[in-house]
């Protein structure tokens, strides 16, 4: 069997496993107060090149979205997001469980348009009874989006401008950030994210770590001075915090994070070209590690004999939307095998 | 000035004020343990003709929606509603504040179609990853809807069937219930509601009481045996509970509730006909006490010199959507004056 | 039967009922945007003599405690209170339902000592791991307390000082405020409360209104600029807001609030003296409208044949703790009858 | 430096690291749907010998407490716990953040007495106004407690009986379960826990895993059929779930879990004896891996030059309470060095 279900199927990059084993018997204090964590924070701050940024580590994506959004919002505020956004559809209501409405905006291939945000906010505040509505407090976007698409620097700047014009926070879910940063045509950098957003995170779980997400806080909100307490309250504070620090230290040494992401995206592009060559155009032009195709059910059934991948929604009558994902662990042989049998 | 802003502008029906004054110095125990409340419950149970129903009284609509929905849902469940539903747009995120997602379904003139519910639920459970999504636990509808429209008995039965087929609760917001029950063409009765729904409520605030909503629980969920505690926890338990009992006892004596609603609906129909005669068709065929028109801004400006009414959304460039509401307190003279100057 | 169960057994002061009837058919806009509410706010601001104070009206006590505490606290903060405090024991977990811990401090006849607050906070911040604990964000006290006792101005000042030294908010539950302000020996004024606290409220429900609590906000926290939205989100915004305004306008006209409170406290003192004369000393020296006695069960049983009053805890084997409450509606005859048969 | 701060300072048992490396490049589906997880569940079920038990894996202790307690309680219920219980003092208000009150009961060396539970519940339900209070829904205890003490089988049975008599759930926090199971004098087994409790968990984080807690559900509450959704909603579902399965599979193979715990407890007993020999009696007779002493500050200062350990509360004027913890990773040499320099 070859696997294209997701980018969190294998363990961790060998470099990470090596470091975990090497340092295993060291004893350090908990909750991120160790030196590995301190060095990882420094490396990430350096990569972001924003002296005001602060770095925190959490374990997983939904956890990070819930904890960060609950921190940047006032209790009476909701968060705007694409209707296809992960927080709106695939997090079991975690945001609402924290008391916040997800205000769904139209999705354009997974992306939110700045004009839609402007339109929503100006209509909202033009309504005399807005105090009786859920106040939008922040915008959540994903980079790359859930459909593998990317915002250009221009688009990201426009979103940042409209958010800050209306005094709303901008939060970027970067669970797959690396796959976006290395994509062909991408012009957004870590420094752009650290400058244009209030908070974003650098995904580890889907990018070669066993687990872990690095939250980069650029906002100066005083609430972040209590972020450790908030993380703990959300059950999200890892006891052996150095595991997070050590993994991110490794990822941000010798460009490992970038190299691993490039490997995955290169294979995804090869896969995409192979599908196109067989007459299957991707339903969305994703330059990243996720590829979406509407395939005849008979093709799906044939491929599923030797490959695993996911339906993206319910199976259709004749054809269905499916997703193929490459990761740092995907091999060239696996892609070749898939394409050969397409 | 004449007023068509809403149906909660005047105090209470004179019959209610009379009873409040007559009984004012009586001393009774609190929190609804008094005889007025007991009698009001009996009258409502009798009107509903469902021996299994239980009746509770709360103060206001948003409070009732929040408290009931929080009771019928499991913690991990959300509530389906029309995207135009009051809980989705005009309750400041109260439902989400209680931890539940409002799952917006398409609105058809304010109504939810049973087919859309069936489609949503069958797609939901066909998705292999539904455990990672917010589980729909109930359907919320309004009768009449926020646009004054009504479900037929057939439509209500279809919604009840689809909900119960999928083991979901059906909850009806009846903040304006009386205005629907007396509308021309309506074929839904209190007994239908008590039979087809798990919970519904009979609005008092907008129907001639100073305040108060009568919640009729038809569900046998054991959680309702703790409903008083839940109401208290939501800050919704009125100390002088007899004020609620006495008002509903009065409303359900000598058909007062029905008579007051008919007065309002008759005037709304007169108003509607008057607008149509001047060439302004209602944007939605509402048979109840709310009427919606798209009027030229110049007409709006002229009317607002002597009448008050609400924009329904932001003011447009040339014309705007406005709402006229009649209540038990609206006078024939007021409607005449409005139409004469249209 | 004569009644000493509580101070919310009768309707409202006749002056209030008169005004409700007189103004009943007027039509005003909702949610407190009317002139009655504006005038009531002005009267209360004037009585408080703090130009920075803002006034809001809510319906009931638990609701007010929950809404205010949820507003003054950050999400990760808890509220300190006497272990006997109403929010800790008699609100069905409403504060916790809003996500906040009630941090119980020792109670001294219902009161919190400033030294205990100082001790708690200095120990708390001396603990290296305090970020892993629930951060105390405010102090809740009741004036009068749940046992009818009062803070002196000196005690209140000390509590205010310790709170503000540690940057914590001070919130006073004044559900029975009037009964305290008029008590013999009391030296605390409305102006003191408006100066020394961040928020307090002036109880209406237990002091002669049908319902209603006037929240006086002295804090300059920007969160209160969204207080209407927060109130709505808590299901606590009364549609016919003028009912609250009109009642408080009446209470604060011609000293009605004070006069009604004095009537109740005078009768409570008469009752206390009568009990003492029969050899039953109050278990706590309460100068306000609540009196607590440990009575032999046989006496309780005898009194309960013609009078109602509450056990304060479970019935004991031989004697039990009971509470007698006087209100504006209690008559001299009722007290006489009680004492005669003691 | 030698370290006695806590039992989560080193990485993982070498056997676990070996398995993580061996299996690192395998690709499995996520969220615990893999074979490692299935085998780990089987091993644990077998060890518990209760065919009705179900096993789930979470990442950390606070997270597990919050998620489980939120599942076993109704929304309007609170959880009883020793006032020294971890959920009451060291979890940043996580339980309250989920909406539930922690009802503090007296602690006896960290333990709750069955008589105190019986007394609390019988008084509670004897109070006529209990519907206005927070309903106790479950009892939380720790085994071992936060002070290293253990419940005997008789004590655990008594707690189970009183809980089930009153229809309350019993939940055992077993973050350090292994250290209790192997302690001298302990007569509680995994099967006892699986029979007497509704839910308990087997700690991994503090017992030699990188992280992970195995939740054993013995309750038949239907809510657990949605436990995956609830875990996800709490941000507690690990993407690479097999990491949890694989670690617990390893721990429950060849008695590794027991052997590692014994190593730690043996060293703790040696440490305890050494302290006693020097005249420092433990403040509590803990037979497990945590030892508490009241030491002169000068001794503390001297030891801290070469050893790390924690203050248990603020530093006193002359002496302070400190804690020494042994783990699977503590060496005999470390204990020798500590004792030699005492």
Q: Give the minimum alpha-carbon distance from A228 to chain C in angstroms, rounded to a whole number.
A: 7
Euclidean distance between CA atoms A274 and A338, whole angstroms: 9
- Best of A75, A77, A133, A223 to disrupt the C interface (most C CBs within 10 Å) is A75
Rounded mean pLDDT, B323-336: 97
Q: Where does the pLDDT of residue A313 fall: very low under 50, low under 70, confident under 90, or very high at 90 and above?
A: confident
CB contact under 8 A, D233 and A28: no
Rounded mean pLDDT, A144-169: 98
**D314, pLDDT greater than 90:** no
Phi-psi map region of C41: left, alpha, beta (phi>0 left; psi -120 to 50 alpha): alpha
Q: Touching D: which chains, 3+ CB pairs < 8 A?
A: A, B, C
Structure tokens at A51: 């002296």
B132: nearest CA in chain D? D229
CB contact under 8 A, C92 and D313: no
Euclidean distance between CA atoms A18 and A15, whole angstroms: 5
Euclidean distance between CA atoms B92 and A203, whole angstroms: 33
Euclidean distance between CA atoms D291 and D342, whole angstroms: 15
Please list the residues that pair with A172 across neighbouring strands. Answer: A141, A200
Q: Where does the pLDDT of residue D51 fall: very low under 50, low under 70, confident under 90, or very high at 90 and above?
A: confident
Chain A positions touching D94 (Cβ under 8 A) are 232-235
- Residue C305 preceded by cis peptide, ω within 30: no
pLDDT of D128:
85
Q: Give the minimum alpha-carbon distance from C8 to chain B in angstroms, rounded to a whole number.
A: 6
Q: Give the minimum alpha-carbon distance from A133 to chain C in angstroms, rounded to a whole number.
A: 7
Q: How far is CA D128 from CA A83, A308, B95, C147, D76, in A?
A: 49, 61, 31, 18, 18
Residue with tokens 């993407």: D239
CB contact under 8 A, C97 and D99: yes
Rounded mean pLDDT, A169-178: 98
- Best of C27, C32, C86, C208 to disrupt the B interface (most B CBs within 10 Å) is C27
Euclidean distance between CA atoms B67 and B53, whole angstroms: 18
Q: How far apart are the first and last CA of chain D?
A: 15
Q: How far apart are the first and last CA of chain B?
A: 15
pLDDT of D313:
82
**Percentage of chain B exceeding pLDDT 70:** 100
Chain B positions touching D133 (Cβ under 8 A) are 229
**B314, pLDDT greater than 90:** no
Evaluated on CA atoms C278, C284, C290, C295, the torsion sign reads: negative
Chain A positions touching B118 (Cβ under 8 A) are none
Q: Could you report the predicted ipTM of this complex, rounded to two decimals?
A: 0.97
Between A97, A128, A129, which is nearest B99 by CB? A97
Q: What is the 3-state secondary structure (H, E, C) of chain C?
A: CEECCCCCCCCCCHHHHHHHHHCCCCCCCCCCCCHHHHHHHHHHHHHHCCCCCEEEEECCHHHHHHHHHHHHCCCCEEEEEECCCHHHHCCCCHHHHCCCCEEEECCECCECCHHHHHHHHHHHHHCCCHHHCCEEEEEEEECCCCCCCCCCHHHHHHHHHHHHHCCCEEEEECCCHHHHHCCCCCCCCHHHHHHHCCEEEEECHHHCCCCCEEEEECCCCHHHHHHHHHHHHCCCCCCCCHHHHHHHHHHCCCCHHHHHHHHHHHHHHHHHHHHHHCCCCCCCCCCCCEEEEEEEHHHHHHHCCCEECEECCCCCCCEEEEEEECCCCCCHHHHHHHHHCC
Q: Give the minimum alpha-carbon distance from A133 to chain B in angstroms, rounded to a whole number.
A: 4
D257-305: pLDDT as tens digits: 999 999 999 999 999 999 999 999 999 999 999 999 999 999 999 999 9
Between A133, A134, A226, which is nearest C76 by CB? A226
- Best of D6, D11, D70, D90 to disrupt the A interface (most A CBs within 10 Å) is D11
Q: What is the largest CA-CA distance in chain D?
A: 63
D61: nearest CA in chain A? A235
Cα angle, residue A219 at apex, residues A217 and A221 outer, rounded to 5° = 115
CB contact under 8 A, C75 and A70: yes
pLDDT of C130:
94
Exposure string of A286-295, with b = 16+ CB inside 10 Å and e = fewer, is bbbbbbbbeb
* Pairs of CB atoms within 8 A across B/D: 44
Evaluated on CA atoms D182, D184, D189, D193, the torsion sign reads: negative
CB neighbour class for A278 (10 Å; exposed up to 12, middle 13-18, buried from 19): exposed
Chain B positions touching C235 (Cβ under 8 A) are 60, 62-67, 94, 234-236
CB contact under 8 A, B243 and C14: no
Average pLDDT, chain A: 97
Rounded mean pLDDT, B61-75: 98
**A295, pLDDT greater than 90:** yes
DSSP D134: P
Q: Are strands D307-308 and D290-296 parallel, antiparallel or unpaired?
A: unpaired
Between D21, D23, D28, which is nearest A21 by CB? D21
Between A76, A223, A230, which is nearest C233 by CB? A76
CB neighbour class for C83 (10 Å; exposed up to 12, middle 13-18, buried from 19): middle
CB contact under 8 A, B226 and D70: no
Residues 6+ apart with CB under 8 A from A24: D10, D11, D12, D14, D17
CB contact under 8 A, B90 and A129: yes
CB contact under 8 A, C92 and B27: no
Q: How far is CA B288 from CA A35, B4, B187, B269, D63, in A?
A: 69, 14, 13, 8, 51
D276-288: pLDDT as tens digits: 999 999 999 999 9
D195-215: pLDDT as tens digits: 999 999 999 999 999 999 999
Please list the residues that pair with D77 across neighbouring strands. Answer: D135
Euclidean distance between CA atoms A272 and C204, whole angstroms: 70
B23: nearest CA in chain C? C11
Between D29, D60, D229, which is nearest A5 by CB? D29
What values do phi and psi take at C200, rounded to 5?
-150, 170
How does DSSP assign B36-98, residue by residue? HHHHHHHHHHHHHT-TT-EEEEES-HHHHHHHHHHHHS-TTEEEEEETT-HHHHSSTTHHHHT
CB contact under 8 A, D96 and C76: no
Residues 6+ apart with CB under 8 A from D52: D218, D220
Rounded mean pLDDT, B10-39: 97
Average pLDDT, chain D: 97
Q: Touching A: which chains, 3+ CB pairs < 8 A?
A: B, C, D
pLDDT of A289:
98
Chain D positions touching C77 (Cβ under 8 A) are 93
Between A9, A206, A234, which is nearest D27 by CB? A9
Chain A positions touching C74 (Cβ under 8 A) are 223, 226
Structure tokens at A196: 């244009």
Rounded mean pLDDT, B174-198: 98
Chain C positions touching A226 (Cβ under 8 A) are 74, 76, 131, 135
C104: nearest CA in chain D? D104
CB contact under 8 A, D9 and A23: no
CB contact under 8 A, B30 and C6: yes
- Parts of chain C with a pLDDT under 50: none
- Best of A57, A75, A235, A238 to disrupt the D interface (most D CBs within 10 Å) is A235
Q: Where does the pLDDT of residue A51 fall: very low under 50, low under 70, confident under 90, or very high at 90 and above?
A: confident
Between A76, A226, A233, which is nearest C226 by CB? A76
Structure tokens at B269: 């129909």
C99: nearest CA in chain D? D97
CB contact under 8 A, D25 and A3: no
Cα angle, residue C88 at apex, residues C85 and C93 outer, rounded to 5° = 145
CB contact under 8 A, B132 and D233: no
Average pLDDT, chain C: 97
């Amino acid at each position: 069997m070859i696997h294209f279900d997701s980018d969190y199927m294998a363990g961790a990059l060998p470099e990470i496993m090596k470091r975990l084993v090497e340092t295993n018997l060291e004893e350090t204090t908990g909750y991120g107060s160790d030196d590995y964590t301190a060095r990882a924070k420094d490396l990430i701050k350096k990569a972001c090149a924003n002296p005001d940024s602060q770095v925190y580590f959490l374990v997983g994506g939904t956890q990070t979205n819930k904890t960060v959004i609950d921190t940047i919002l006032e209790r009476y505020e909701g968060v705007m997001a694409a209707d296809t956004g992960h927080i709106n559809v695939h997090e079991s209501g975690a945001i609402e469980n924290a008391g916040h409405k997800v205000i769904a905006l139209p999705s354009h291939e997974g992306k939110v348009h700045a004009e839609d945000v402007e339109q929503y906010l100006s209509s909202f505040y033009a309504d005399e009874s807005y105090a009786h509505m859920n106040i939008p407090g922040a915008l959540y976007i994903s980079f790359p989006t859930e459909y593998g698409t990317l915002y250009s620097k221009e688009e990201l700047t426009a979103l940042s401008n409209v958010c800050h014009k209306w005094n709303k926070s901008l939060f970027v879910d970067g669970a797959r950030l690396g796959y976006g940063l290395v994509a062909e045509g991408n012009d957004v950098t870590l420094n752009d994210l650290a400058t244009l957003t209030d908070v974003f995170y650098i995904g580890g779980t889907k990018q070669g770590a066993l687990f872990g997400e690095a939250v980069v806080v650029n906002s100066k909100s005083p609430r972040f001075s209590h972020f450790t307490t908030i993380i703990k309250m959300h059950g999200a504070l890892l006891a052996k915090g150095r595991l997070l620090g050590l993994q991110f230290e490794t990822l941000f040494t010798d460009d490992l994070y970038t190299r691993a992401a490039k490997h995955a995206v290169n294979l995804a592009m090869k896969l995409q070209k192979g599908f196109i060559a067989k007459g299957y155009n991707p339903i969305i032009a994703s330059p990243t590690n996720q590829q979406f195709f509407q395939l005849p059910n008979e093709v799906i059934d044939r491929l599923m004999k030797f490959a695993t991948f996911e339906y993206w929604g319910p199976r259709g009558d004749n054809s269905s939307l499916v997703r193929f994902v490459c990761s740092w662990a995907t091999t060239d042989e696996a892609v070749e095998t898939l394409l050969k049998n397409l």
